[in-house]
Amino acid sequence: MFRPVLIISVLFSLYIASHAQSCAKYNFASNQIFSSCNDLPYLNSFLHWNYDQSAKTVKIAYRHTGVSSSRWAAWAINPTGQGMAGAQALVAFQKSDGTMRAYTAPVAGYQTQLQEGDLSFPVSDLSATYARNEIIIFATLKLDGLNSTVNQVWQEGPLSGDSPAMHPTSGPNIQSMRTLNLLSGETGAAAGALNSRTKKKNIHGVLNAVSWGILLPIGAVFARYLKVFPSADPAWFYLHATCQTSAYIIGVAGWATGLRLGSQSPGVQHTSHRVIGIIIFCLGTLQVSALLLRPKKEHKHRFYWNIYHHLIGYSVIVLSIINIFKGFNILNPEEKWKRAYAGILIGLALVAATLEVYTWYVVVKRKKSSRPQHKMPNGVNGTNGHNGYGARAQDRV
């Protein structure tokens, strides 16, 4: 019984391996042969090329697999920097009548609609095919004045009629760029502005996660549960105020970093993330101000102030957690960071649940201890000839 299962498993593994996506195993229908190829790390894309160093020409075939006929694909070289702005793109898609359109499109900025235009270098033999959910762009590029190492960008997005529409601005779509050495075939992450922007994104994410996502809930736990312990008064208030103020200061720094990122990427829009962030900043400002403007305990409006303060505080916590997970989806970090933050939230929730049970236990115990311990003696309220105002004194609580 074991031998047939082993044989079937081996054959299945060989079948899967033979059908794995790899540029080296691909055979073009037109019998074209490319001496070099590269499996691009994002968007199911592959690049094949022949580079003539003496003539400074490169013949390329860019493949984008697993794509429907209602989407466009593009591959570009950026002679002036990294990323989308300044890229010289080759664009292709299937029109509504079933024919393929392939054209060149210089990308001046992030608000581009991929309008057709001449590139900064000559392009010839431009064509495209679509078959078996795969777009292939063929072209020959004349790269005079460029080194053998180029900055490449590739992209895909939806169609609006017979025109390209805006591609997604998160996840793999904003990571699809690499340097490419046309001689050795080596690739590497684009440096310079990309690394600087990535660093700012990480700083923005860490600051906001630590401030609004961790310190603020900890401050709420201090405020609600430490005051149950008489020995903690007024320490609980100072701990709560410290956490809340620190969260606000660090959060403002993270918010400012996000504003700088937005100014550097005018075409990248994360509307819901930005709107929630603005709301959190405004409500957080109100909460910090409330620490200084709160009425005294004996004030007649203190009850209503408490309702307002708690409502704003819990709203900020809920909105912050939602926005932090939105930030995770935008930054697309390793899964361990999202799990670590979720673990912190679960830990805080368990601590809060435990303290909530203990708080109610203390409250119930105090109520029981405050009840009267003595019954009225016989003879009071008219019994045994007394009307309640006689010689025997009346017990009072």
Q: Which residues line the annotated binding site?
A: 204, 240, 273, 309
d(CA 102, CA 116): 10
Q: Measuring CA to CA, how many Å separate 80 from each of 85, 124, 193? A: 9, 21, 11
Where residue 86 falls (left for φ over 0; alpha for ψ -120 to 50; beta otherwise) is: left
- Known binding residues for heme b are 204, 240, 273, 309
Instruction: Quote the longest CA-to-CA distance of the chain.
Output: 128
Token look-up 């001449």 returns 118
DSSP 289: H
Burial class (CB in 10 A: 0-12, 13-18, 19+), 242: middle
**DSSP codes joined into one string, 271-288:** HHHHHHHHHHHHHHHHHH
Token look-up 């074991």 returns 2
End-to-end CA separation in angstroms for the chain? 85
d(CA 263, CA 266): 6
Token look-up 């495209």 returns 128
Report the side by side order of strands in the sheet with 134-142.
Answer: 36-39, 45-52, 57-65, 134-142, 123-131
Residue in 180, 191, 196 with CA at minimum distance from that of residue 77: 180
What's the half-sphere exposure (Cβ side, CA atoms, 13 Å) at 119?
26
